[in-house]
Chain A
Amino acid sequence: GQNIDQPTEMTATEGAIVQINCTYQTSGFNGLFWYQQHAGEAPTFLSYNVLDGLEEKGRFSSFLSRSKGYSYLLLKELQMKDSASYLCAVMDSNYQLIWGAGTKLIIKP
């Protein structure tokens, strides 16, 4: 079956760096997405990786290794507003999105 694994919850300190990991096993691969979801709100798009390597976008970076079925989202200079759930999703060979359960990130002052 298809599976996306990510930690349920992580805690970090304001101003620090945190890495949220995602491992996947899917039928084919057409890209990996990260979305941010604040409590009670809609998910919003953060990043898309289809080739191996690191994609940097301001304080957020996303890394992909297709051979390892692995990605991470790196958040730098953490701010209180970064407290949210981070959802990893993989597009399979049929262009269907397979979603992880999300990682709830708690930022402490």
Chain B
Amino acid sequence: DTAVSQTPKYLVTQMGNDKSIKCEQNLGHDTMYWYKQDSKKFLKIMFSYNNKELIINETVPNRFSPKSPDKAHLNLHINSLELGDSAVYFCASSQALGSGANVLTFGAGSRLTVL
């Protein structure tokens, strides 16, 4: 019944490794997002996908790559992990972009720790 589910919830890994976080939503929403929340609690948009098309790509390193096999899934792949990548990554979805009342539903978050 979980609306937005992401896995894994916790991820501890070494610098230089490659890792992926998966996200799925069963709300029938058209848009999905990846956010990064650092230790100062700022939520920073990383990517959003609308109907499998990347529509926002903020200035994130190209080590981060989103992959969306269909509109219910948006995975995040990270290459060559660095210490500064340690954060909580939230997946979210919304009914549509370009609408004022664009309420986000967030997943529970994936806490990434890079050692």
B66 in contact (CB, < 8 A): no
Interface size for chain A: under 10, 10 to 19, 20 to 34, or 35 or more residues?
Answer: 20 to 34
Question: Which of B41, B90, B103, B105 is in CB contact (< 8 Å) with A85?
Answer: B41
Q: Which residue of B lies closest to A89 (CB)?
A: B43
| Segment at the interface with B among A10-18, A42-50, A61-69, A70-78 | A42-50
Q: Are the CB atoms of B42 and A91 closer together than 8 Å?
A: no
Q: A31-B100, A31-B101 are in contact. Are A41 and B109 (CB under 8 A)?
A: yes
The number of inter-chain residue pairs (CB within 8 angstroms) is 49
Q: Are the CB atoms of A97 and B45 closer together than 8 Å?
A: yes
Q: A87-B43, A101-B40, A101-B42 are in contact. Are A30 and B100 (CB under 8 A)?
A: yes
Q: A42-B90, A96-B45, A102-B41 are in contact. Are A50 and B103 (CB under 8 A)?
A: no
Q: Which residues of A contact B (CB under 8 A)?
A: 30-31, 33, 35, 40-45, 48, 50, 85, 87, 89, 91, 95-97, 99, 101-102
Q: Which residues of B contact A (CB under 8 A)?
A: 40-45, 56, 90, 97-109
